Chain A
Amino acid sequence: MNKPRKTPQETQAIVESSLRRRYWAERRFRAYGMTAIVAALTFLVYLFFVIFSNGIGAFRQAEIRVDVFYDPAVIDPSGMRNPEDLHAADYQALIRASLKTRFADVDGRAATRELTRLVSGSAAFALQRNVTADPALIGTTRSEWLLASDAVDLLLKGHIERALPEAERPVSDQQLAWVDKLRAENALALKFNKTFLSSGDSREPENAGIWGAVVGSFFTLALTLLLSFPIGVAAAVYLEEFAHKNHWTDIIEVNINNLAAVPSIVFGLLGLAVFIGFFGLPRSAPLVGAMVLTLLTLPTIIIASRAALKAVPPSIREAALGMGASKIQMVSHHVLPLALPGMLTGTIIGMARALGESAPLLMIGMVAFIVDVPKSVTDAATVLPVQVYLWSDSPERGFVEKTSGAIIVLLAFLVVMNTTAVILRKRFERRW
């Protein structure tokens, strides 16, 4: 039944005729691989491009220069310089008056209202702060840069189409003309946006800042670190240096590996049911957030710490024990210091993950709209990624820019943390 044997020449002919096809397949396969990498990296670049091009504007904010006359008749009609009167005065009226003197041709209530809408509603508070800080201002005229409204801000940044019909854009033709006039007189400019970096959340895009979220993130992360690093290191030391291999340690290990892959939102459910529901801890507090994030990051830290402990050669342990050290002394005097850089690297990476985490924090109520900057770990607070989520939900166009700006800040923190981890690893990495 055997086929007649092929001569070597015939075989060679078959192989050669197929070579072209096979080399093509080779090149095609290689191109697929290259395409995959290029595609993935293109997504990365595009993602960063979108975020940065949208968010870079958040760091600049339109301001209008106005000569403000601190009218004693408005601020302090009694002339007593009573702090409560100064606090309660109608500073909006000062702005209205100043703008009216600037544009003397504006007449009528409607037009005046449109004119004052160029300036943000919070500008009055700035004047109030000025007066409180220095009551001698009253009666003088000073040139002030006032926060412009978010419509003017968007217009200046080119997010509002001038060509649209008047009814479809948030600035009227009249306001456009004023803006152009102010622009021509150098009295309207984009300035560095201090509000964005220094204040809490707000419903008005021009007043919204990320400082509250940054402080909330700081409290949460600091507490997470305080809880998870000692516990994680202790657990790793026990499992690596003390535990005998038995059923119990097997159970612990399987648990740690599985927890590392449980969806983060499930940890949020745990926090809601146990920490808030059962123990009655306050909602929205960094304290609870930190406890949830601790449980979330513990597996990462334990796994990294165990790897670092494994990397310390047994000879060091034997030498210490040989010198008469107890097991605890051997670990705390010799093994731990040598493994510490590796543990820290793992911890920083875990913290970076915790910083970007938001789903479990939604569960425990850290999504409330909070204007005040938190002062302690039991105050209601929010964190950076949740702030991103909250702003991305806002309908105002101005918040798109704020959202991207907050993401830039978040990414900057992440870059710093990961770079630290890499440097730490490079610097202290030891080969035995």
Chain B
Amino acid sequence: MTPAALLLALALLSAGAFWIGKSRSLALVGGTRGVRNLHSLPSHYGVMTAMWCALPALLVIFAWVGFQDAIILRLVTDHLPAGVRDLPANELSLVLNDVRNLVAGNVPAANVSEAVRGAAAQYLQLRGVSRMALTVLVMVMAVGTIIFVRGRITPELRARNRVERVVEWMLIGCSTIAVFTTIGIVASVAFEALRFFQHVNVFDFLFGTSWSPQMAIRADQVGSSGSFGAVPLFAGTALISFIAMAIAVPIGLYSAIYLAEYAHPKFRTWAKPLLEVLAGVPTVVYGFFAALTIGPALRGWGESVGLSVASESALAAGFVMGIMIIPFVSSLADDMISAVPQALRDGAYALGATRSETIKQVVVRAALPGIVGGVLLAVSRAIGETMIVVMAAGLAANLTANPLEAVTTVTVQIVTLLVGDQEFDSPKTLAAFALGLVLFLVTLALNVLALHIVRKYREQYE
């Protein structure tokens, strides 16, 4: 059976196990009339039986499927003709790739060598054996546990407590996934980044000013050295983020103030969701908009006043990114402004301040830590934003502060280094992970700082 069919069969068996456990418990006490003699509800006995049937079998299936491919490939490799088997590791992996492709039906059999065809046939045969063995094992386990548990069911068995303990462990397991995700991110990205730093010095990477990640295919190639100085990328990211914030902070802040302090409730109820639509539009749409409309338009304006504007200028990408970020700034600022107690405003009015004076000198100052926290969150958003810059910013790593020129960013380089065919251990692909590590650490620091500020402020008035 294929793994999918096996899972289905296991599900059916578990349903059967539930029914067996339930009816067994009822039979023990003489039908529904004797239910009060059972420790737990009959369905608890059923669920317990089903869990015993399904969980160990599931573990076996996942472990088996996880290791099956590697073991079979090893066996197939051992049986390859001697000439092929003794090839260097990377050529051998190409051959094995051919085998896999042939098995998956991606390439016609006529296109590959005799050895590969033989290996593929052997692979298929071994896979058939392995699937058969797994099927038998799982079925025996499932049926065996059902019989075993059925024999153990007594009216005194504390089935509910057992079931609930398992459920609680599952809940705990699910809640730790967030922790494992963080560990996974740090471990995987840091591990690849460390491998990168074996090729390239950390300080050259962090403080070098020249970025051209081409590596030589042949040793004697011209311009093959490849330089990984990431300062131009950091500068480009900073420039685009700065432009974005220059658009988003004033507009977001002023709209938040207007919505919170001046707007009629009716106006507020439809203007606020409309502003938030800006945050719901996918970023590819913004990227397309920037590349199709804003970029050429800026270029046209630049030409008409005699400035030379690159068609992938930092300004276009930053401008559109700013629009995207407006709702982040405005909704957080809105929350913070609304949280300022009315008493502070009343105090200012009583001293004769106008509304705008109250807002500027009392409300905004009282809400300032929260607003700063929101802006920091927005900055981290801008730094990590990918699609807009991939589509609208350039690829050339220029070290410049001129917003009319094309610059590139950390995220753009990660995408260009990793999209397409790649070998896993060249410094070129590993560089992407080093950049990812920097990106993760910077945004993490910003988030921690921002959340800290926001939380500290919120507690002040609660």
Residues of A within 8 A of B (CB): 15, 22-23, 25-26, 28-30, 32-37, 39-41, 43-44, 47, 50-51, 54, 230-232, 234-235, 237-239, 242-243, 251-252, 255-259, 261-267, 269-270, 272-274, 277-280, 295, 298-299, 302, 326-328, 352, 355-359, 362-363, 365, 367, 385-386, 388-389, 392, 400, 403-404, 407, 410-411, 414, 418
Given the complex, which residues of B lie within 8 Å of A258, measured CB to CB? Answer: 182, 444, 447-448, 451
**Which stretch in B120-128, B148-156, B183-191 binds the other chain?**
B183-191
Contact B386 A392 (CB under 8 A): no
Contact B282 A356 (CB under 8 A): yes
Given the complex, which residues of B lie within 8 Å of A400, measured CB to CB? Answer: 292
List of 10 A-B pairs having minimum Cβ-Cβ separation, nearest first: A263-B384, A33-B258, A356-B282, A36-B254, A273-B188, A234-B174, A29-B356, A359-B386, A238-B171, A235-B175
**Main secondary structure on A side of the interface with B:** helix
Q: Which listed residue (A34, A358, A414) contacts B283, Cβ 8 A?
A: A358
Cβ distance B390 to chain A, nearest Cβ, rounded Å: 8
Contact B255 A26 (CB under 8 A): no
**Main secondary structure on B side of the interface with A:** helix
Cβ distance B294 to chain A, nearest Cβ, rounded Å: 10
Contact A414 B289 (CB under 8 A): no
Contact B160 A326 (CB under 8 A): yes
Pull 21 A–B residue pairs with CB atoms less than 8 Å apart, ordered by A: A37-B258, A44-B275, A44-B278, A47-B281, A238-B174, A252-B175, A255-B181, A263-B381, A264-B384, A265-B415, A269-B188, A269-B418, A270-B185, A270-B189, A356-B282, A359-B415, A362-B415, A385-B387, A389-B287, A392-B288, A392-B391
Contact A242 B356 (CB under 8 A): no
With A252-B179, A256-B178 in contact, do A235 and B171 touch (Cβ < 8 Å)?
A: yes
**Which stretch in B224-232, B302-310, B432-440 binds the other chain?**
B432-440
Cβ distance A411 to chain B, nearest Cβ, rounded Å: 7
B199 at the interface (CB under 8 A from A): no
Cβ distance B382 to chain A, nearest Cβ, rounded Å: 10
Given the complex, which residues of A lie within 8 Å of B257, measured CB to CB? Answer: 33
Q: Which listed residue (B252, B285, B381, B384) contacts A388, Cβ 8 A?
A: B285
Cβ distance A18 to chain B, nearest Cβ, rounded Å: 11
Q: How many A-B contacts at CB < 8 Å in the complex?
A: 256
Closest to A404 in B: B288
CA distance A219 to B293 in the complex (A): 32
Produce 1/0 per residue, B264-285, CB < 8 A to A: 0000000100110110111111
Most buried by A among B70, B254, B288: B288
Cβ distance A310 to chain B, nearest Cβ, rounded Å: 16
CA distance A265 to B168 in the complex (A): 33
Closest to A266 in B: B440
B176 at the interface (CB under 8 A from A): yes
Contact B285 A26 (CB under 8 A): no
Given the complex, which residues of B lie within 8 Å of A40, measured CB to CB? Answer: 251-252, 255, 275, 278, 323, 326, 330
Given the complex, which residues of B lie within 8 Å of A234, measured CB to CB? Answer: 170-171, 174-175
With A29-B356, A36-B250 in contact, do A269 and B436 touch (Cβ < 8 Å)?
A: yes
Given the complex, which residues of A lie within 8 Å of B424, measured CB to CB? Answer: 277
Cβ distance B419 to chain A, nearest Cβ, rounded Å: 6
Q: Which listed residue (B175, B288, B387) contacts A243, Cβ 8 A?
A: B175
Given the complex, which residues of A lie within 8 Å of B277, measured CB to CB? Answer: 44
Contact A356 B284 (CB under 8 A): yes
Number of residues of chain B lying within 8 A (CB) of chain A: 90
Contact B411 A359 (CB under 8 A): yes
Cβ distance A430 to chain B, nearest Cβ, rounded Å: 21
Q: Which listed residue (B178, B191, B259, B443) contacts A298, Cβ 8 A?
A: B178
Q: List B364-381 residues whose CB lies under 8 Å from chain A.
A: 377, 380-381
Given the complex, which residues of A lie within 8 Å of B250, measured CB to CB? Answer: 36
Given the complex, which residues of B lie within 8 Å of A28, measured CB to CB? Answer: 356
Cβ distance A350 to chain B, nearest Cβ, rounded Å: 12
Cβ distance B451 to chain A, nearest Cβ, rounded Å: 6
B359 at the interface (CB under 8 A from A): yes
Cβ distance B345 to chain A, nearest Cβ, rounded Å: 15
Given the complex, which residues of A lie within 8 Å of B223, measured CB to CB? Answer: none
B291 at the interface (CB under 8 A from A): yes
Contact A34 B323 (CB under 8 A): no
Given the complex, which residues of B lie within 8 Å of A327, measured CB to CB? Answer: 164
Contact A252 B176 (CB under 8 A): yes
Cβ distance B301 to chain A, nearest Cβ, rounded Å: 16
